[in-house]
Amino acid sequence: MAKNHLRTKFKKRFIKPVFLSCIFAAAIFSVSCSDSSKKSDTGSNISSDSKNEADQASQNNVSEPNPLVQCKDMNEAQEIVGFDLKLPEKIEGYDDIKILAIQGDMIEVVYHKGDHEIIIRKGVYDESTDGDISGDYSKYTNVGDANVGTTKVTFKGDDEKDPKLAIWTIDDFAYSLSSDELERADFNRIISDIK
């Protein structure tokens, strides 16, 4: 009987509290594990759902591929767009030339000389851009129209003598010429040679 009494005393004193402590610890652990998938007030825990949403958002922010294709020569560019572009024979000092095209839409020719460049574009006329295919969205202080031969050209720049941009349309095509160093006479000469 003394043995049973000791056993009962031992159960009450040690086993019961240890058992209850284990159950309590298991319950706390269970609750903390199930809550770890939720974002805490400090924002330090991220649920697997939130992580998946973030992964999907980053995948949706992938930009579109560049539609410009670098061409080895004007013949390749003309095949890509489906129309011709006639350029000046040569622009003095601008010997490095890069030709780009957008399928069925536009040809861009970039002439380089050191830090300077001349960009010529010809593309299908788009009414929504009013024929401005230049890609130059600068606000210029001097904007005006003038005839170059029989073609009405809009010149844009910060002064009348040195435009930075010229845009014009012929039939179903829009054209642009931009440069950071040409004078108005150079613009006129180059525009006359572009068809």
What's the pLDDT score for residue 52? 47
How long is the chain? Answer: 195
Higher pLDDT, residue 42 or 1: 1
Pairing of strands 106-113, 116-124: antiparallel
User: Residue range 44-58: average pLDDT?
Assistant: 44
Class of domain 69-193: alpha beta
What's the pLDDT score for residue 176? 98
84-93: which pairs have CB atoms within 8 A and are 24 or more residues apart?
A: 84/195, 85/109, 85/120, 85/122, 85/194, 85/195, 86/193, 86/194, 86/195, 87/120, 87/193, 87/194, 88/189, 88/190, 88/193, 88/194, 89/193, 91/118, 91/190
% of the chain with per-residue pLDDT over 70? 68
CB-based contact 144:154 (threshold 8 Å): yes
The per-residue pLDDT for range 146-169, each reduced to its tens digit, is 999 999 999 999 987 889 999 999
Domains in the chain: boundaries: 2-60, 69-193
- Residue 97 predicted with pLDDT over 90: yes
Higher pLDDT, residue 75 or 24: 75
What's the pLDDT score for residue 90? 87
The per-residue pLDDT for range 7-43, each reduced to its tens digit, is 444 445 545 555 445 454 444 445 444 444 444 444 4
